[in-house]
């Protein structure tokens, strides 16, 4: 084929490939969207109302959107908490699904799934005779206070009426569904159903007596509630009422309460009650009315804490109510006398309430919405001065990362999951006179892979410390920084320790007055974990402290402090040598001269003797074997207080003479020439030396010099 044709066909082939790729991209848009992020659905299993979705993503799963239309904005978001498997409870229907990865990118999957064995909320109209109807309820917290009753589900046909005596629940999977069994991600069933029986009987031939309504109040209370029942008489007057905790229809021998009024009242505790009415002719109503008595609480609230602020002149009250009705108010008095409900209360439902108060001593009680009063008071004093012992945080957050549980000043342990290798921790103080402990306040924290303990330490104006801990889990790669188990710095609250990352054992003395050694250690690896084992109280004599550094790659290094507590408060700072001697050498030693130079010659070993001025000072000498001309020997003197002074000995071996160096160079050139000759001969080259050219070169050279 001619060259020009080759070029033309090559160009046409490239154009065809480009067009084909574009077409494939356009026509495969949904497929590309499905697998664009390396994400996918492994399987979808439907078991009644619970759907189990197994997925995967190269960048991790953040959550799922599930909806019955193709519009993601109308879908419900389910947070997966970093797991690739989601269990969610759904009503009958066909659903679309989207995946959000940890980068925040949403990918839609056209693969739909259908739930058909859950339940629906259909109603029955124009019913006749008897039967059953299943109705579905959906919850987010496990409560079903506003259920649709059976009388609203079934509508009888014209000429028929409901016989309520034949209406009852025959199947109920809602009552066992509690708030504790449901979490925020929908990991267990949120859908439940009840199956009701019903009877639609002809309207002719009835006595006409019926229960019209049964009601009670919806307010919280700490005593039994009154139920009001209204009825309608038929051919004869009302004769009595029957109340029961089940829906079975009573008979004439049942325990009826006599009454001839169409309105009847009874007082009952918490529960669901079924009420019938009968007339003087002995006819029993074909229907009942049910009523649920709830919101009865007898558990008193508790005042958890009082936080006085002298600077702000206020009192912050923290209270809780386990009964469920919630906080209803506070009573504050300068006397420890219990209040009644008629006392002057501050009515508020705020469980964390701040009120302005002048300096003084106060007693605080709490009441709940049901009318229960806390069993005892809490006492607090607002001082005249601005000094308080408040070491609480007012807020604690991580930027773009959620902490669990929600922040509470009295809760000191939290957890969080971060998709970032570096986080910013922010915190504020309740008391402006308090302060953050150095290096434990708001800051940026680099995370290592796994669990990271992030500490926030608060010191009150009286000096008492409080520590808040956030356990942050990060499953990505470690952030930038040195991966090493070395300490970067080590500071103590006593002495003047000279620290070297390569020295792992230290000895130092502390005064008798020091009760506890405070240690501040920083690692070279910003993601390293530092564990300090430090005695709570220093004893006279030997005390051991260990500092274990675990790098982000798992390697460890242990630093040991041998702390000697003296019987006096005098600790020496003397780190000078009294004498320094080297066998075979005469050096001019002076205590303030830190550097010395000697010629080592052909030796590889030195005998060095060093004596400290202070008998309690520690002297360490570097290895004196296998020495070279570049060796430096360090003689370190560590004083009682941990400070160190280093004397250096520089070594120089005897060098080679100029003649020896010239001979080595000439010999090297000869060896290179021989090697070149052998290699060229092996390659088939003829080698000769042009002595004439060499002679002419030197003649011209000397002639030029003469000229």
Q: Do domains 303-382 and 577-652 have the same CATH topology?
A: yes
pLDDT surpassing 70 at residue 387: no
Q: What's the Rg (C-alpha) of the chain?
A: 44
Please report the pLDDT score of residue 310 as a whole number.
73
* Averaged pLDDT for residues 169-176: 74
What is 207-296's CATH topology? Immunoglobulin-like (2.60.40)
Task: Name, in order, each residue with C-beta under 8 angstroms of 459's C-beta and a sequence gap of 6 or more.
Answer: 391, 434, 435, 436, 437, 465
Please report the pLDDT score of residue 702 as a whole number.
61
Q: Is 642 left (phi over 0), alpha (psi -120 to 50) or beta?
A: left
User: What is the CATH number assigned to the segment(s) 393-474?
Assistant: 2.60.40
Q: Which own/partner pairs from 590-596 qualify as long-range (CB within 8 Å, at least 24 positions apart)?
A: 594/645, 594/646, 594/647, 594/648, 595/647, 595/648, 595/650, 596/647, 596/648, 596/649, 596/650
Residue 208: pLDDT band (50, 70, 90) is: confident
CATH 2.60.40.10 fits 36-115, yes or no: yes
Q: How far is CA 178 from CA 173, 237, 295, in A?
A: 11, 44, 16
* Averaged pLDDT for residues 359-380: 92
Please report the pLDDT score of residue 180 as a whole number.
57
* Averaged pLDDT for residues 269-285: 89
How confident is the model over 555-572, as pLDDT tens digits?
889 999 999 999 999 999
Residue ranges per domain, the chain?
Answer: 36-115, 119-204, 207-296, 303-382, 393-474, 487-563, 577-652, 659-706
Rounded to 5 degrees, what angle do the CA atoms 187, 58, 56 make? 35
Name the E strands within 139-190: 154-156, 160-162, 169-172
pLDDT surpassing 70 at residue 91: yes
Please report the pLDDT score of residue 661 as a whole number.
67
Task: Name, in order, each residue with C-beta under 8 angstroms of 438's C-beta and a sequence gap of 6 or more.
Answer: 520
pLDDT surpassing 80 at residue 677: no
- What are the backbone dihedrals phi and psi of residue 701, each rounded to the nearest 5 degrees, phi first? -60, -50
Rounded distance, CA 175 to CA 187, Å? 18
Tokens, residue 439: 């290096």
Query: C-alpha 412: how far from its chain's center?
Result: 13
How confident is the model over 24-74, as pLDDT tens digits?
333 333 333 334 446 778 888 888 778 888 888 877 888 888 888 888 887
pLDDT above 70 covers a percentage of the chain that reads 81
How confident is the model over 329-357, as pLDDT tens digits?
999 999 999 999 999 999 999 999 999 98
Rounded distance, CA 633 to CA 627, Å? 9
Domain 303-382, CATH number (from 3.40.1350, 1.10.10, 1.20.120, 2.60.40)? 2.60.40
Please state the pTM of the whole predicted model.
Answer: 0.33
Instruction: Kindly report the average pLDDT of the chain as a whole number.
Output: 81
How confident is the model over 290-324, as pLDDT tens digits?
999 999 999 999 998 888 877 778 899 999 998 88
How confident is the model over 584-624, as pLDDT tens digits?
888 899 999 999 988 877 777 888 999 999 988 999 888 77
User: N- to C-terminal Cα distance for the chain?
Assistant: 71
User: What is the CATH number assigned to the segment(s) 577-652?
Assistant: 2.60.40
pLDDT surpassing 80 at residue 687: no
Task: Name, in order, each residue with C-beta under 8 angstroms of 154's C-beta and a sequence gap of 6 or more.
Answer: 123, 124, 127, 133, 162, 196, 198, 200
Residue with tokens 């001593």, as numbered in its chain: 361
Please report the pLDDT score of residue 594 as a whole number.
92
* Candidate from 151-165, 388-402, 438-452 with smallest mean pLDDT: 151-165
């Amino acid at each position: 084929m001619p060259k020009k044709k080759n070029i033309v066909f090559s160009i046409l082939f490239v154009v065809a490939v480009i067009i084909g790729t574009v077409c494939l991209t356009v026509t495969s848009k949904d497929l590309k969207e499905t697998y664009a992020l390396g994400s996918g659905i492994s399987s979808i299993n439907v078991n009644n109302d619970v759907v189990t979705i197994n997925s995967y993503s190269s960048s991790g799963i953040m959550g799922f959107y599930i909806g019955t239309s193709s519009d993601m904005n109308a879908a419900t978001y389910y947070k997966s908490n970093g797991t690739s498997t989601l269990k969610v409870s759904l009503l009958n229907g066909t659903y679309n699904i989207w995946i959000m990865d940890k980068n925040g990118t949403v990918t839609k999957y056209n693969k739909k799934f259908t739930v058909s064995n859950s339940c629906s909320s259909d109603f029955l109209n124009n019913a006749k005779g008897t039967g059953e109807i299943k109705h579905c309820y959906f919850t987010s917290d496990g409560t079903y206070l506003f259920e649709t009753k059976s009388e609203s589900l079934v509508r009888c046909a014209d000429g028929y009426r409901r016989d309520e005596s034949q209406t009852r629940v025959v199947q109920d999977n809602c009552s066992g569904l509690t708030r504790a069994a449901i979490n925020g991600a929908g990991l267990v069933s949120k859908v439940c159903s009840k199956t009701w029986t019903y009877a639609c009987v002809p309207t002719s031939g009835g006595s006409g007596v019926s229960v019209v309504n049964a009601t009670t109040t919806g307010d919280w209370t700490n005593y039994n509630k009154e139920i009001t029942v209204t009825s309608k008489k038929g051919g004869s007057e009302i004769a009595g009422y029957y109340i029961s905790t089940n829906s079975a229809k009573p008979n004439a021998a049942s325990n009826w309460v006599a009454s001839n009024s169409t309105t009847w009242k009874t007082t009952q505790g918490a529960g669901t009650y079924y009420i019938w009415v009968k007339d003087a002719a002995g006819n029993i109503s074909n229907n009942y009315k049910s009523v649920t008595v709830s919101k009865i609480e007898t558990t008193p609230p508790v005042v958890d804490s009082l936080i006085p602020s002298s600077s702000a002149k206020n009192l912050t009250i923290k209270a809780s109510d386990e009964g469920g009705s919630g906080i209803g108010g506070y009573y504050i008095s300068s006397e420890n006398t219990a209040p009644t409900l008629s006392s002057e209360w501050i009515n508020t439902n705020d469980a964390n309430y701040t009120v302005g108060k002048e300096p003084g001593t106060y007693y605080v009680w709490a009441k709940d919405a049901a009318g229960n009063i806390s069993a005892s008071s809490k006492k607090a004093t607002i001082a005249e001065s601005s000094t308080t012992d408040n070491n609480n945080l007012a807020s604690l957050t991580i930027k773009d990362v959620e902490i669990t549980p929600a922040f509470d000043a009295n809760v000191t342990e939290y957890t969080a999951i971060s998709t970032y290798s570096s986080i910013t921790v922010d915190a504020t103080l309740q008391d402006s006179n308090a302060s953050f402990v150095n290096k434990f306040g708001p800051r940026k924290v680099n995370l290592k892979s796994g669990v990271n303990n992030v500490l926030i330490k608060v010191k009150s104006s009286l000096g008492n410390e409080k520590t808040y801990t956030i356990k942050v889990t990060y499953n990505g790669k470690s952030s930038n920084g040195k991966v090493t188990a070395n300490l970067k710095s080590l500071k103590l609250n006593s002495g003047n320790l000279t620290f070297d990352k390569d020295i792992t054992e230290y000895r130092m003395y502390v005064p008798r007055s020091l009760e506890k050694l405070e240690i501040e250690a920083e690692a070279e690896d910003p993601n390293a974990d530092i564990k300090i084992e430090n005695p709570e109280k220093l004893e006279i004599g030997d005390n051991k402290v260990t500092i274990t550094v675990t790098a982000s790659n798992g390697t460890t290094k242990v630093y040991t402090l041998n702390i000697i507590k003296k019987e006096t408060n005098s600790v020496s700072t003397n780190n000078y040598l009294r004498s320094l001697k080297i066998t075979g050498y005469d050096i001019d030693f002076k205590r303030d001269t830190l550097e010395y130079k000697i010629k080592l010659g052909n030796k590889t070993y030195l005998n060095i003797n060093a004596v400290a001025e202070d008998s309690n000072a520690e002297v360490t000498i570097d290895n004196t074997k296998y020495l070279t001309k570049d060796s430096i020997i360090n003689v370190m003197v560590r004083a009682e207080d941990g400070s160190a002074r280093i004397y250096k000995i520089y070594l120089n071996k005897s060098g080679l003479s100029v003649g020896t160096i010239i001979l080595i160079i000439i010999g090297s050139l000869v060896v290179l020439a021989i090697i070149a000759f052998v290699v060229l001969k092996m390659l088939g080259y003829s080698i000769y030396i042009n002595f004439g050219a060499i002679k002419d070169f030197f003649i011209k050279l000397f002639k030029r010099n003469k000229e």
